[in-house]
A and B are shown apart, each in its own frame.
Chain A
């Protein structure tokens, strides 16, 4: 039996996490959202206690990733996900305030699937997240292998 998709939301700003979750729910996303407020807890969740990523085998996983975390760079997490044999198929959506061209390029180079900049204008922000939520709703997510 296929497990339901889980959204791992790696976001250090509690407020942002709330706003993202609110708008995903408004778009009808009912899946479990796991809030991860720093790099260490994100790595623990994604790769498990043995660090192999086996812990998420067979689970469809979608990763929402903020790049600026207190204890490490989101880029490093992205890199580890895309290099991991179990997690590399899981889509990673970078959702961050940085709109630096080189940063965006780097993320796509490392295999990020979508890069979204958080707009300060809340109407746009809410719209972007809700659109994304609708997209998630129809999206087929592979299970971690």
Chain B
């Protein structure tokens, strides 16, 4: 009879096919087969390993209830009695009653090892039947649930936020045992990846749902980075975390239906009280939206680049096509001027030959008119040429590629001041430059901006009071504001915005300038992600403040290669 049950169990297992056979042979599953009364008939290697008994010690001797927590067995008997409305004995019957009634049964239970230590197990029970469908025994397949339990505990310990993440449908939380076999697969993971938890738990590792090429590439990169060979599989996904290195990386996950999505995965090693790694927690977020934003930014940057190239071409055309006619206007006006001299000389000569007065008053008036007309033409052409040159300069500046670098701003201001030494001495100005915070930005652009502001400060000092110029700075977490204060003539309120416009100047036009400086400065500051402002009262000087990001970096498409 006992032999019959064992044989039957083995036959059933054979019939059940390769997968179940594999489970039965596996050291990771405890497979225990009993006769109809619960006496153990088969105790596989996995059971021996997990429970610490040799098969001989239990076969034909005890039932699985004898290696289960007695209190849990009693509690289970009570609960089932209530659930099924029939009295169930607190013993082996409680462990198999549902299976004996043909109800699928998987439950959690604490197994007790030979050495009396305990571990949580998940047990799946199947009734074994003969050809007449009579029950001849039971098969209890158990897995060690320690890793999962610890993972859950670790999560609870990790606090409310992590717990919330774990419970959230927006994060895929996957916990594995130390070997990478998935133990927990939360709702977020189910939603993102399309697998039910039951599909993957105890079956696959996260490497099986990741892009295999990326896993191989990551293994190769890490092998080089860490100088140790790393296998292209689950190890590649958690190796850093296993070494206590914080690890967040991008990876393509593959859904059950074969579709793919970019994820950002953060990996944490789960450790027991002794610090031994008992599993890993991989929290992933769907990165599709961010990738789309990045692609969008890349496109925008490309368009910006094209627009800049357009400006460059425009500048080129302007420099030739607008200048060409000016050369002619200026040239022929000058030729006309030369002819004019000759004409009036000849006129005077003819008047003398005819016996008249060579200094004829109406001739003089005519000469003055022609002279005046020609001089207006010439001065206007000269002005237009300067405007074109200014426009060109602006267009070229807008096109230059910035090179962010670390800049000692106190030094930059001192250098600027040295270049203005002649002007500052001439007006006897007191200039003070405070300790200024350094910045990471484009050096040439900042030199141009601040030398323009300093130049203006010196240029527009009042002549009736001693000049004073002061440079200060304030900083926030992300930005620095540099301020140039002067006690000069100030800028009228109505001109505050206008001074930044191209070719516009404020106040009495008694100082040299082309009306380009501040327009140029504003273009540069804006390109550097900052802003420039002016503040002043009519009689208490001017304050120009330039706010810049502490670290300027290249456009997004240049960051992501």
A63 to chain B, nearest CB (A): 19
Chain B residues closer than 8 Å to A22, beta-carbon distance: 335
Contact string, A107-136, partner B, CB cutoff 8 A, digits 1/0?
A: 000000000001111110110000000000
Q: Are B319 and A126 in contact (CB under 8 A)?
A: no
List the A residue with the shortest CB-CB distance to B337.
A122
Q: Is A145 an interface residue (CB 8 A)?
A: no
Q: Which of A12-20, A28-36, A52-60, A75-83 contacts B (4 or more CB under 8 A)?
A: A12-20
Q: Are A120 and B330 in contact (CB under 8 A)?
A: yes
Q: Which of B321, B327, B381 contacts A15 (CB 8 A)?
A: B327
List the A residue with the shortest CB-CB distance to B384.
A120
Interface residues of B in 313-353 (CB under 8 A from A): 316, 319-321, 323-328, 330-335
SS class, residues of chain B in contact with chain A: helix
Q: Is A99 an interface residue (CB 8 A)?
A: yes
Chain A residues closer than 8 Å to B328, beta-carbon distance: 13, 15-16, 19
CA distance A118 to B560 in the complex (A): 45
List the A residue with the shortest CB-CB distance to B326.
A120
B179 to chain A, nearest CB (A): 62
Q: Are A122 and B316 in contact (CB under 8 A)?
A: no
Q: Which of A16, A68, A98 contacts B327 (CB 8 A)?
A: A16
Q: Are A122 and B333 in contact (CB under 8 A)?
A: yes
Chain B residues closer than 8 Å to A98, beta-carbon distance: 316, 319-320
Q: Are B331 and A125 in contact (CB under 8 A)?
A: yes
CA distance A95 to B327 in the complex (A): 13
CA distance A61 to B548 in the complex (A): 58
Chain A residues closer than 8 Å to B93, beta-carbon distance: none
CA distance A34 to B460 in the complex (A): 55
Q: Are A121 and B316 in contact (CB under 8 A)?
A: no
Q: Are B382 and A120 in contact (CB under 8 A)?
A: yes
Q: Is A71 an interface residue (CB 8 A)?
A: no
Q: Are A15 and B319 in contact (CB under 8 A)?
A: no
Chain B residues closer than 8 Å to A120, beta-carbon distance: 323, 326-327, 330, 381-382, 385
Chain B residues closer than 8 Å to A121, beta-carbon distance: 330, 382, 385
CA distance A22 to B334 in the complex (A): 12
CA distance A118 to B329 in the complex (A): 13
Chain A residues closer than 8 Å to B320, beta-carbon distance: 67-68, 96-98
Interface residues of A in 84-104 (CB under 8 A from B): 96-100
CA distance A35 to B222 in the complex (A): 70
List the B residue with the shortest CB-CB distance to A13.
B324
Chain A residues closer than 8 Å to B333, beta-carbon distance: 122
Q: Are A123 and B381 in contact (CB under 8 A)?
A: no
CA distance A96 to B332 in the complex (A): 18
Interface residues of A in 28-49 (CB under 8 A from B): none
Q: Are B327 and A123 in contact (CB under 8 A)?
A: no
CA distance A19 to B323 in the complex (A): 15
Q: Are B327 and A19 in contact (CB under 8 A)?
A: yes
Q: Are B324 and A97 in contact (CB under 8 A)?
A: yes
Q: Are B323 and A122 in contact (CB under 8 A)?
A: no
- Between B327, B332, B334, the greatest number of chain A beta carbons within 10 A of the residue's beta carbon is seen for B327
Chain A residues closer than 8 Å to B381, beta-carbon distance: 120
B308 to chain A, nearest CB (A): 15
CA distance A97 to B335 in the complex (A): 20
- Between B320, B335, B381, the greatest number of chain A beta carbons within 10 A of the residue's beta carbon is seen for B320
Chain B residues closer than 8 Å to A68, beta-carbon distance: 320-321, 324
Interface residues of B in 439-467 (CB under 8 A from A): none
CA distance A126 to B337 in the complex (A): 14
CA distance A16 to B333 in the complex (A): 13
A37 to chain B, nearest CB (A): 13
CA distance A82 to B326 in the complex (A): 31
List the B residue with the shortest CB-CB distance to A68.
B320
List the B residue with the shortest CB-CB distance to A22.
B335
B76 to chain A, nearest CB (A): 85
CA distance A121 to B321 in the complex (A): 16
Q: Are A100 and B385 in contact (CB under 8 A)?
A: no
Q: Are A125 and B316 in contact (CB under 8 A)?
A: no
A122-B334 contact in complex given A15-B327, A15-B328, A16-B327, C-beta closer than 8 Å: yes
CA distance A132 to B381 in the complex (A): 24
Chain B residues closer than 8 Å to A67, beta-carbon distance: 320
List the B residue with the shortest CB-CB distance to A12.
B324
Q: Are B332 and A125 in contact (CB under 8 A)?
A: no
CA distance A121 to B316 in the complex (A): 20
B365 to chain A, nearest CB (A): 26
Q: Are A126 and B332 in contact (CB under 8 A)?
A: no
B397 to chain A, nearest CB (A): 14
Contact string, B285-326, partner A, CB cutoff 8 A, digits 1/0?
A: 000000000000000000000000000000010011101111
A100-B319 contact in complex given A15-B332, A122-B334, A123-B334, C-beta closer than 8 Å: yes
Chain B residues closer than 8 Å to A100, beta-carbon distance: 316, 319
Q: Are A19 and B324 in contact (CB under 8 A)?
A: no
Q: Are B331 and A15 in contact (CB under 8 A)?
A: yes
- Between B325, B330, B332, the greatest number of chain A beta carbons within 10 A of the residue's beta carbon is seen for B330
A125-B330 contact in complex given A97-B324, A120-B381, A120-B382, C-beta closer than 8 Å: yes
Q: Are B331 and A19 in contact (CB under 8 A)?
A: yes
List the B residue with the shortest CB-CB distance to A96.
B320
CA distance A100 to B312 in the complex (A): 11
Chain A residues closer than 8 Å to B331, beta-carbon distance: 15-16, 19, 122, 125-126
What are 6 contact pairs spanning A and B, CB under 8 A?
A97-B323, A97-B324, A98-B320, A122-B330, A122-B331, A125-B330
Which 7 residue pairs spanning A and B have beta carbons closest together? A15-B328, A122-B334, A120-B385, A97-B323, A19-B331, A122-B330, A122-B331
**Which B residues are closer than 8 A to A by beta carbons?**
316, 319-321, 323-328, 330-335, 381-382, 385
- With A100-B316, A125-B330 given, can you name 10 additional A-B contacts, CB distance below 8 Å? A13-B328, A15-B328, A97-B324, A98-B316, A100-B319, A120-B323, A120-B327, A122-B327, A122-B333, A122-B334
